[in-house]
Every structure is written in C-alpha cells, then in structure tokens.
Amino acid sequence: MRRNKTNPPAPTEGDTALRTDATTSLVGYRLRRAQLSVFQKFLAVFDELKLRPAEFSVLVLIDDNPGRKQTEIAEVLGIKRANFVTLVHGLEERGLVERVPSLEDKRANALHLTAEGKAFLTQAQARHAQLEEETVAQLGGPAARAQLLALLDRLI
C-alpha cells in the first residue's frame, strides 16, 4: 500500500502520538484554534463580570458611537438582527444599555450606555487592556501585533 497524505501508514504499537499535520498546516484551522484560545482567556478574565466577547464589543462600539442604530452596530460586528436584539435586551436588563427611539427614524432604536454601563465598561476595559498586553507579549511585542493585524486584514 502506498503511503501518502490521504492514506497514511497505520500507527505502530508504540506510536501514541496523534498525527495532526493534515489539520495544523491549514490556515483556517490555525485561525480557529487561535480564536478559541483567545476567547477562553477572555471568558476566564471576564467570568466575574459575566461578560462575553460579543457583549464587550457591543458596549465598546456604543460607547464610541452613542445614539447609533441597533442595525448599524449589528452590521459592523456581523451579528444577525435577531441575535443582536437578544444580546442588547440582555445588556438592557442588566442596566448597561438603553434603547431610545431614533430621532431620524422612529422605527429604529438608538443605543446609549447608561451611567452604570459606562462605569461597567471602564472596569471591563481595564481588564481587557491587561489581557491585550499579555496577548501582545505572547505574540512577541507591538511589531508582531501590527504584523498579525495586517495579515488578518488581508482575509477580511
């Protein structure tokens, strides 16, 4: 039997290492694994605040863009409308976000952080800054971070 990638040799009795080259050499696979690692660290850091990555991103964007429509924020983040409505509702129930009818379009809601939301975000951003610093150090410093971001920009 010929040995190749599609038909690798059968493991020997003493061979306990799992062959992973077929997946670990794939860009998409490695990106997904990196994302999982970063998200796991994020969840550990933010567990006490009960904050998920998408919620953090929403709070940051609302803070940077007060009064913008839900649809605009959802679109930038690539979140489906129904999922975004549920996400914002959860943040609203926690007293972090308020939806106000848009002045330009009464059918749309403008998003704002509440005073509690601003205080919460300040605390979350401090934690995130530490997490980002650790991640950048793991990459090899600011130049490596810039290089990674430039490479990722080619994919999106």
Give residue limits of the domains in the chain: 51-127
Q: Which residues of 121-130 are buried (b: 16+ CB within 10 A; e: fewer)?
A: beebeebbee
Amino acid in the structure at residue 83:
N
Nearest 10 degrees: Cα torsion 97, 100, 105, 106: 140
Give the side-chain half-sphere CA count within 13 A for 74.
17
Its pTM stands at: 0.83
Dihedral sign for Cα 69, 83, 76, 127, please. Answer: positive
What tens-digit pLDDT sequence spans the chain (156 residues)?
A: 455 555 666 666 667 889 998 999 999 999 999 999 999 999 999 999 999 999 999 999 999 999 999 999 999 999 999 999 999 999 999 999 999 988 787 788 899 999 999 999 999 999 999 999 999 999 999 999 999 999 999 998
Question: How far apart (Å, rounded) are the C-alpha atoms in residues 65 and 111?
Answer: 9
Query: Any idea how long the chain is?
Result: 156
Query: What CATH number should be reported for the domain whose range is 51-127?
Result: 1.10.10.10
Nearest 5°: the CA angle 64, 55, 30 is 105
Question: How far apart (Å, rounded) are the C-alpha atoms in residues 88 and 119?
Answer: 17
